[in-house]
Structure 1
Amino acid sequence: MENIAPSHLEQRLMSHLQTLYPNFDASELARTCLTTFNLDPKTESPRPHRNLWDQSDIMLITYADTLRSENEAPLETLQKFVKNKLADSISAVHLLPFFPYSSDDGFSVMDYTTVNPSAGRWQHISDIAKDFKVMGDLVINHCSSRSMWFENYKAGVDPGAKFFYEADPNADLSAVVRPRTSPLLREVQTKNGQKHVWCTFSHDQVDLNFENPDVLLEFLRIIRLYLEKGIRWFRLDAVAFLWKIPGTPSINLPQTHEMIRLLRLMIEHYAPDSVIITETNIPNQENLTYFGNANEAHLIYNFSLPPLLINSLITGDCTHLKQWLMSMPPAQQGTTYLNFIASHDGIGLRPTEGLLTEWELDTLINTMKRFGGRLSSRTTPQGEAKPYEINISLWNALAGSVQQGPDQWQFARFMCAAGVMMALEGVPAFYIHSFFGTENDNERLDNTGQFRSINRHIWQMDDLEHALNTPTHHQKVFQGICRLTQIRRAQTAFHPNATQYVLHMGDSLFAFWRQSLDRRQSLFAVYNMTDQPQNFNLSELNLIATDDWTDLVTEQVYEDHLANVTLMPYQFVWLANKKGKIKLSQPK
């Protein structure tokens, strides 16, 4: 029988599989992977270093059931809202886990293949995907202890019999990096006796064992289903913890990076317009490694941005924010950053390691507590409890300053934060509550006992519509954010990969220059990070003398290139030599 040489795709796949599964036949396993994924081995590779985004891309982060109407599936309510109210402001919707779950607001997945009936159906997600890019969560590190897989694990039957990572309770696990304070191992009675399973996050979230290739094959089936339903962007949740080796930190291991490369290979050959985003809430230098050589994540979360930006706005000093931004490498073509200030989780504090001093971190934490925030901790390998994240709504986080406490500048400070995020290199992502200026939900926190619930408010649509149609801060925030997003989406200098250069204008003014890929549009973003008026001279910006310069925010034209400019507390300017034309959809 004639031997057929493996295709280029098969060869690349086999290389990854040989590294991950040295005791298995890589050739046979590669064929099984391709068959499972319904992928032709002869599929041509997509062109590398393609930017699958531009300045019009802005993401909305939301739970499937954040917006609720009577007698309507929440996903249908969400679909109507984003189509009717946000079509001019966003291009993508990140749907947080919408599956049946047992805890952690969706991140303890019981069944990856079905939509939680209380949220809606797959058709609702496909409907959203007709008008927007949809990002789905691949909760890949762990699943629910109430899942069928875990029940099968305890019974010793497939699928699931060997799906979970077991460890010897007498092994030295002191080096393992933890994001929580709960015990790492959970004792479980199974058909084969007492076992101890690995639980990075909680005892209801049992870690999967990717040393078993059957787990990989199961996730390839899941990914293929998502692709078939219209999902094209994939958020790899908690992926840094994916591979475990007792005696090591069991975070950011080489096998984890290899697995991401394998998944990207499969996904982008199935759908060349697909995007992988790694969720790795870890120190900045470690986070950057998930770009690989432009062959792992297309986007990585800019986890250092939220704590540093909030810290700058409440202290009035942008020194650390500026130093961090100067140290960030420009992303290669085909990769970029995902910029965010708020999300369904809290403000991560690990990304401040090496960036803020202990005293500065304590000041930030105490100020957030003063504004109603709560503090979650993690356990270090030495058994010490360390601050992990601050749980607070963004609106409350920016209520005032370290020196004065709550003040009259909350709205201006909030808009300044949004203005910074939207102008930076990368794709901006707004948590849905940032569109509304939603406050701390202390009632929900009291009901659940979970700190993260404080920033996971559920809006009844009647209440939201009333808030957006009457003179409230919710209306003011919504109108202000929508206007800024529409301005941003028209400027080529805001392309996620456009040139960025940090300017030195003191500790009170945060400033940087952006230039479009074709070099036609230059844009200077200058922000007053304080509660006092600040002055600067346009001569500090090196404006091109032959061009007219306009502040896109106020539409003021600056004919005098040596003029003094006064920025009121938290005011900012986007000075551009050319104005992109804002295109709005028809009113609905």
Structure 2
Amino acid sequence: MLQGEGALTLRDRVEQHLQAIYHDISLDISFTEFADDLLGLMRLEVDENTPLQHTNHWNQCDTILITYGDSLLATDEKPLVTLKRFLDDNSEGLLSAVHILPFYPWSSDDGFAVLDYSSVNEALGDWSHIGEIAAGYDLMADLVINHCSSRSLWFENFIKGVEPGKGYFYTASPEDDLSSVVRPRTSPLLKEVETDEGTQYVWCTFSHDQVDLDFRNPEVLKQFVSIVRQYLDEGVRIFRLDAVAFLWKVPGTTCLNLEETHEVVRLLRTLVEHARADAVLITETNIPNRENLSYFGNANEAHCVYNFSLPPLLLNTLVTGDCSYLKQWVMSMPPAQNGTAYFNFIASHDGIGLRPAEGLLSDEELDALIVTMQSFGGHVSYRALENGENRPYEINIALYDALQGTVDGPDDWGLERFVCAHAIMLGLEGIPGIYLHSLLGTHNDHQRVENTGHARSINRHQWNLDLLQEALEDTQSSHSRVFSRLKALLATRRRQAAFHPNATQFTLHLGSAILGFWRQSMDRRQSVFCISNISPQPQPLNLRDINLIDAHQWQDLIGGEVYESHDQQLELRPYQTLWITNLPDHR
């Protein structure tokens, strides 16, 4: 909380945020007027009551499905209608929330070059379809806040020098010191543009069709506050702040994670939580682990941060059969304060990021992982370093194919390895997010890569719903087996208080081939020992090694086995996971 916050009005708090953001910028408006404008856009009163702090807006029943609006297609039906129909017919109440990736009109990057933030892409449906999904599921939407399309009305107006758009985009000079700028692409940072005011060089962190907005201009902030208000009105509860780490630029710096960026997140947190007490901000910051954690602030910035280090570390663990790096990282992660949580995922619409593994995996480990993934049909995307060299940025591959084997090559344990990955993720402290194509066991889509020319398309398959339903009804298909196994894990997880996202977690030391950690419910009544064999060989386990309390009867929640002796010797099958609890599972 801000110093002296208890005596401050909401206007005072907003003013403090604005003063911290624009401390060295001369504005044509007073901070009080600026604050009143933002409160007006959010329809908030100056003396609005401050929501209770350190409140968890989630529990063990929460799982977020990640999907594009058009990942499922049916004849003569808008894709958003198809998506809701699939969820209603197949999720069985196991998915509490849906993250629909950018559903706005766009020009490139599968939605992340937004043409119009206030509209729904007509090819997907309209706001009524979004509202129907929001009525049945918590809706997570992208606030693509760092940049928008070079073909947007805003950018066209920027070129013409008229509103809205005049002064909306960040410009720099090729003579500026940009040597320290960190970015995830290899294309030139600056794009030369002819405007009515002459030649300008606009800043493009990602691509030349994605032009960075200039938040030094108060009108840009006002626009996004207005957009946030509209999304709340349309039923959005969870906001994903896309690429927010790059928001504020100062030449001569890295232009990454600057203090002004953090203050913008704090401001949005203040406004959003006053507008809807259970609204949630999630920062999407694909950066090294320590920097990523900084977006929690002092429980006053993001409610949740993407746990970006988990995908590469877990993938490395399962293809090498050695959990040492993953275990070391799990031990190092600080417990999230109440009111904050980790957002755990192991696959998404993007690739498996390698920057979050920097300092956690050696260069040799990363090189071996890349070679293995390429042998399984994956691609590698690169970023430019300040010395002009290119460095691997992410691995592009469908997770099911990424786990088809080990560093020794493909084997027959792919399905078990894939399920093991999800069992580990579902057991860890945090809120789980499952990518639709992982839930369905979708394979690499090489044809889509060939059609689009983009490596990320490999994991962005579009399913015909009729063909998908046939695959799911065929109990022998890999899609059906994945779907049923993951749904069973989700059903079990949501019944366990020890899997609350903020429940206690301690790491167990069971050797390099067995990953183990202990979860305890917040009322301390339930314990769950999560134990996974992460190797292709059977592994011995003596229950004595995990110190089960004699006063309790212990049961494996996944397999159902009851352990009569606390000194029992077990043999874990390759990639088998046990969730051993002291409380019976009430199905």
Q: Return the TM-score normalized by structure 2.
A: 0.97
Match of 1:271 among 248, 270, 276: 276
> Which amino acid counterpart does residue 439 of structure 1 have in structure 2?
H
SS of 2:102's partner is: coil
Residue number in structure 1 paired with 2:143: 138
Residue number in structure 1 paired with 2:471: 467
Shift in Å at residue 178 of structure 1? Answer: 1.2
Bigger Cα displacement from structure 2, 18-27 vs 449-458:
18-27
Please say if residues 199 and 207 of structure 1, whose CA atoms lie closer than 8 Å, have aligned partners that are also in contact: yes
Residue number in structure 2 paired with 1:569: 574
Please say if residues 243 and 285 of structure 2, whose CA atoms lie closer than 8 Å, have aligned partners that are also in contact: yes
Residue number in structure 2 paired with 1:11: 12
Residue number in structure 2 paired with 1:448: 452
Please say if residues 160 and 195 of structure 2, whose CA atoms lie closer than 8 Å, have aligned partners that are also in contact: yes
SS of 1:307's partner is: helix
Match of 1:376 among 377, 381, 394: 381
> Which amino acid counterpart does residue 378 of structure 1 have in structure 2?
R
Trace 1:277-288 onto structure 2 (pairs within 5 A): 277-288=282-293
SS of 2:19's partner is: helix
**CA distance in structure 2 between the partners assigned to 1:580 and 1:202 by the alignment:** 50
> Which amino acid counterpart does residue 411 of structure 1 have in structure 2?
L
Identity %: 56
Match of 1:39 among 29, 44, 56: 44
Residue number in structure 2 paired with 1:48: 53
**CA distance in structure 1 between the partners assigned to 2:389 and 2:329 by the alignment:** 27
**CA distance in structure 2 between the partners assigned to 1:424 and 1:7 by the alignment:** 38
> Which amino acid counterpart does residue 161 of structure 1 have in structure 2?
K
> Which amino acid counterpart does residue 335 of structure 2 have in structure 1?
P
Bigger Cα displacement from structure 2, 340-349 vs 24-33:
24-33
Shift in Å at residue 87 of structure 1? Answer: 3.5
Structure 1 position 495 matched with structure 2 position 500: yes
**CA distance in structure 1 between the partners assigned to 2:339 and 2:584 by the alignment:** 26
Match of 1:399 among 392, 398, 404: 404
Q: 1:461 to 1:49 in 2, by over 3 A?
A: same
Shift in Å at residue 84 of structure 1? Answer: 1.7
**CA distance in structure 1 between the partners assigned to 2:483 and 2:436 by the alignment:** 10
Shift in Å at residue 21 of structure 1? Answer: 2.1
Structure 1 position 295 matched with structure 2 position 300: yes
Shift in Å at residue 83 of structure 1? Answer: 1.6
Residue number in structure 2 paired with 1:229: 234
Residue number in structure 1 paired with 2:543: 538
Shift in Å at residue 580 of structure 1? Answer: 4.3
> Which amino acid counterpart does residue 123 of structure 1 have in structure 2?
S
**CA distance in structure 1 between the partners assigned to 2:14 and 2:228 by the alignment:** 17
Residue number in structure 1 paired with 2:421: 417
**CA distance in structure 2 between the partners assigned to 1:45 and 1:57 by the alignment:** 25
SS of 1:93's partner is: strand
Residue number in structure 2 paired with 1:426: 430
Please say if residues 528 and 534 of structure 1, whose CA atoms lie closer than 8 Å, have aligned partners that are also in contact: yes
SS of 1:360's partner is: helix
Shift in Å at residue 7 of structure 1? Answer: 6.0
Residue number in structure 1 paired with 2:327: 322
Bigger Cα displacement from structure 2, 463-472 vs 447-456:
463-472
Shift in Å at residue 88 of structure 1? Answer: 2.5
Please say if residues 7 and 41 of structure 1, whose CA atoms lie closer than 8 Å, have aligned partners that are also in contact: no
**CA distance in structure 2 between the partners assigned to 1:71 and 1:217 by the alignment:** 39
**CA distance in structure 2 between the partners assigned to 1:579 and 1:494 by the alignment:** 15
Deviations 1:291-322 (A, max 9, x none): 00000000001100000001000000000000
**CA distance in structure 2 between the partners assigned to 1:171 and 1:233 by the alignment:** 38
Q: 1:33 to 1:312 in 2, by over 3 A?
A: same
Residue number in structure 1 paired with 2:337: 332
Q: Tell me how large the CA RMSD over aligned residues is.
A: 0.8
Residue number in structure 2 paired with 1:477: 482
Match of 1:408 among 394, 412, 426: 412
Structure 1 unaligned segments of length 5 or more: list them: 1-5, 583-588
Residue number in structure 1 paired with 2:3: none
Please say if residues 89 and 486 of structure 1, whose CA atoms lie closer than 8 Å, have aligned partners that are also in contact: yes
> Which amino acid counterpart does residue 178 of structure 1 have in structure 2?
R
Residue number in structure 2 paired with 1:203: 208
> Which amino acid counterpart does residue 450 of structure 1 have in structure 2?
H
> Which amino acid counterpart does residue 410 of structure 2 have in structure 1?
P
Structure 1 position 124 matched with structure 2 position 129: yes
Shift in Å at residue 577 of structure 1? Answer: 0.5
Match of 1:518 among 523, 529, 546: 523
Please say if residues 544 and 567 of structure 2, whose CA atoms lie closer than 8 Å, have aligned partners that are also in contact: yes
Residue number in structure 2 paired with 1:552: 557
Please say if residues 492 and 580 of structure 1, whose CA atoms lie closer than 8 Å, have aligned partners that are also in contact: no
Please say if residues 169 and 212 of structure 2, whose CA atoms lie closer than 8 Å, have aligned partners that are also in contact: yes
Match of 2:67 among 62, 67, 80: 62
Deviations 1:207-231 (A, max 9, x none): 0000001000000111111000000
Shift in Å at residue 581 of structure 1? Answer: 2.8
Shift in Å at residue 383 of structure 1? Answer: 1.5
**CA distance in structure 2 between the partners assigned to 1:249 and 1:382 by the alignment:** 14
SS of 2:236's partner is: coil
Q: Return the TM-score normalized by structure 1.
A: 0.97
Residue number in structure 2 paired with 1:586: none
Structure 2 unaligned segments of length 5 or more: list them: 1-6
**CA distance in structure 2 between the partners assigned to 1:382 and 1:12 by the alignment:** 42
Please say if residues 21 and 213 of structure 1, whose CA atoms lie closer than 8 Å, have aligned partners that are also in contact: no
**CA distance in structure 2 between the partners assigned to 1:503 and 1:284 by the alignment:** 22
**CA distance in structure 1 between the partners assigned to 2:433 and 2:541 by the alignment:** 30
> Which amino acid counterpart does residue 399 of structure 2 have in structure 1?
L
Match of 2:77 among 51, 72, 77: 72
**CA distance in structure 2 between the partners assigned to 1:383 and 1:49 by the alignment:** 44
Please say if residues 552 and 573 of structure 1, whose CA atoms lie closer than 8 Å, have aligned partners that are also in contact: yes
Deviations 1:85-106 (A, max 9, x none): 1132210100100000000000
Structure 1 position 257 matched with structure 2 position 262: yes
**CA distance in structure 2 between the partners assigned to 1:492 and 1:35 by the alignment:** 41
